[in-house]
Amino acid sequence: MPLVRISLMKGKPADFGKQVGNIVYRTMVDKINVPAKDNFQIITEHDPARLIYDSEYLDIRRTDEMIFIQITLNEGWTVEMKKALYKTVAERLHQELGVRMEDVLINLVEVRKENWSFGNGIAQYAP
């Protein structure tokens, strides 16, 4: 169900985006009960003039290593679950890939259960 869009600067190793995506996927399974195998992502790379960030908003020092993660998913997660998701995604990106935690931006867009078709033209989650 989550559809994840990951936007990175150009110039990282070929499979870096995929590794980032795998951490996002695993953490959604662990922290917000996303089902196993529910993994759909679009990863794009951009040059610095086209991936714009403020380098000190909220007193967080960001760099060109910025990663933008926008996740469209069903509504219904608690604030505590969302917080656990953000924290663990950032920690794992840091621990496993050396990403600075300051450089991780995450945004959630919530939709209804009937707003998905995962193939065959069927609304698999509809009530």
The alpha carbon torsion through 17, 22, 27, 30 (nearest 10 deg) reads 180
Does position 39 interact with its own copies (CB under 8 A)? The reply is yes
End-to-end Cα separation, the chain, in angstroms: 15
How many residues sit in the footprint of its own copies (CB under 8 A)?
66
Quote the CA–CA distance of 56 and 115 in Å, as a whole number: 36
Catalytic machinery residues: 2
Report the greatest alpha carbon distance in the chain: 47
Which residues between 81 and 110 bind its own copies (CB under 8 A)? 82-83, 86-91, 101-110
Which residues between 41 and 70 bind its own copies (CB under 8 A)? 41-46, 49-54, 56-58, 60, 62, 68, 70
Quote the CA–CA distance of 42 and 2 in Å, as a whole number: 11
Residues at the site binding its own copies, with contacts judged by CB under 8 A: 3, 7, 14-15, 17-18, 21, 35, 37-46, 49-54, 56-58, 60, 62, 68, 70, 72, 79, 82-83, 86-91, 101-112, 114-124, 126-127
